[in-house]
Amino acid sequence: MSIIAQVNNQTVESGVSTRTPIANAKVTVTDALGAVVGEAVTDSKGEAKIPVSARADYTITLDTSTLPEGASLASAGANSFILLKDSFVTQTKRVTFIVGQSGNSSITFTEKVAQRAADGVRLGLIIALCSVGLSLVFGTTGLTNFAHGEMITFGGLMAFFLNVTIGIPLLIVAPIVVLLGGAFGITYDWAIFARLRRKGVGLVSQMVVSVGLSIMLRNFYLFQFGGRTRPLDDFSLQTGMDIGPIKITPRDLTTGIISLVVLITVALVLQRSRTGKAVRAVSDNPNLASATGIDTQRIIKIVWCAGGALAALGGVFRGLDEQVGFNMGSGLLFLMFAGITLGGLGSAFGALVGGFLVGLLVEMASLVVPSELKNAPALLILILVLVLRPQGILGKRTRIG
């Protein structure tokens, strides 16, 4: 077992906090009787790891005299943490000391709105990127795939394994992960859902299978990866740059631009290519598409492959944005459902529009509700759309019966 203490220097500009690691800061761990259990100094990542023998009550203290000259803690008296025995949920417990500005600097409401809007655009692009496959699978097969979030997690975890564990640069890792995600999507369909379709299993039963698959994969990821989130090695420590009232890191700006380019490319492929037209035809009416000579099974395989690849890419970007965790995809699942419902079930273009709007709504909601509840308005929108306009923004009314 071990305690990892992280020491970061925090600066605040335009309401956005930026943290950089502080090296050579001394951290001491004492037990409930005041005896020193261990001590260490922080490395280049600002982390000091102190082994402990068992779950117990510990006090972690930062020696402020070892901080860089002129540096002070963001909050008075915050140079120590008390960890209780019951707080050790995993074998490793982390604490963070903040040096510099407290993050409570006042900014204008206009600056807050601009920053939240920029964050919403980034989140919306990631949701849209991940939602396209989910929407197309629903359109071509009728399946509501609750395991789609685990495809996103797969991308994030594979990126972590290749980048952090093996040490391959992320610029090389990202294309590899996209290919692995496509293969994972095809395997999903071939191993489970294609067989269920051939046996004539109903869509409700297939949906239940997807729920079970989601739970199984999530627990497998937890067993292999652990319960805490971890950053990717590359581009994890960057200073934000100012663009008007908005502060954004080069990493986030780059991932946003790439997401936008990928989404535009997907839209053009669906609109103009022969395969894209076939996908839209199968989504509109699978039986009629088969009658006109379209190989619907081949199109379904393509949709699963493309959906897995886009989800994996979204997992890489989400890992860069929020760090990698075993449940990172499941945390986005209902936001994706809200996006494709808002945009129009089964419509790829609806998923693009709806996912973007949901991401924007989630971040803007944090201006009026606590950040812990910022997803609630998006789910409320999902309910209202289902009640008032079930076909969504770009969906079409259909006759029942």
How do residues 57-71 score in pLDDT, each as one tens digit? 888 888 888 888 777
Q: Residue 194 is part of a domain; what is its CATH number?
A: 1.10.3470
**Domain termination site, one of 66, 100, 134:** 100
- 81 and 139 both lie in a single domain: no
CB atoms within 10 A of CB 256: 20
- 12 and 140 both lie in a single domain: no
Q: For a pLDDT cut of 90, what percent of the chain falls above it? A: 28
- The answer, as to whether pTM is greater than 0.75, is no
Q: Give the count of domains, the chain.
A: 2
In the numeric block, which tokens belong to residue 148?
A: 């789609």
- 7 and 118 both lie in a single domain: no
- Separation between Cα atoms, residue 1 and residue 52, nearest integer Å: 6
- Separation between Cα atoms, residue 46 and residue 6, nearest integer Å: 5
- Separation between Cα atoms, residue 316 and residue 129, nearest integer Å: 11
**Domain termination site, one of 60, 78, 100:** 100
Domain that holds residue 133: 109-388
Among 167, 156, 316, which Cα is nearest to 233's?
A: 167
- Separation between Cα atoms, residue 156 and residue 312, nearest integer Å: 7
Residue 21 forms beta bridges with which residues? 8
On the question of pLDDT at 209 being above 60, the answer is: yes
Return all residues near 224 (Cβ < 8 A) that are at least 6 apart. Answer: 157
Return all residues near 191 (Cβ < 8 A) that are at least 6 apart. Answer: none
| Per-residue pLDDT at 398 | 52
Locate the DSSP E strands across 235-362.
241-243, 246-248
- Confidence band for 103, pLDDT divided at 50, 70 and 90: very low
- 61 and 150 both lie in a single domain: no
- 22 and 165 both lie in a single domain: no
Lowest mean pLDDT among 13-22, 77-86, 190-199, 248-257: 13-22
- 367 and 281 both lie in a single domain: yes
Return all residues near 254 (Cβ < 8 A) that are at least 6 apart. Answer: none
- Confidence band for 215, pLDDT divided at 50, 70 and 90: very high
**Domain termination site, one of 58, 74, 100:** 100
| Mean of pLDDT over the chain | 84
Residue type, 74: A
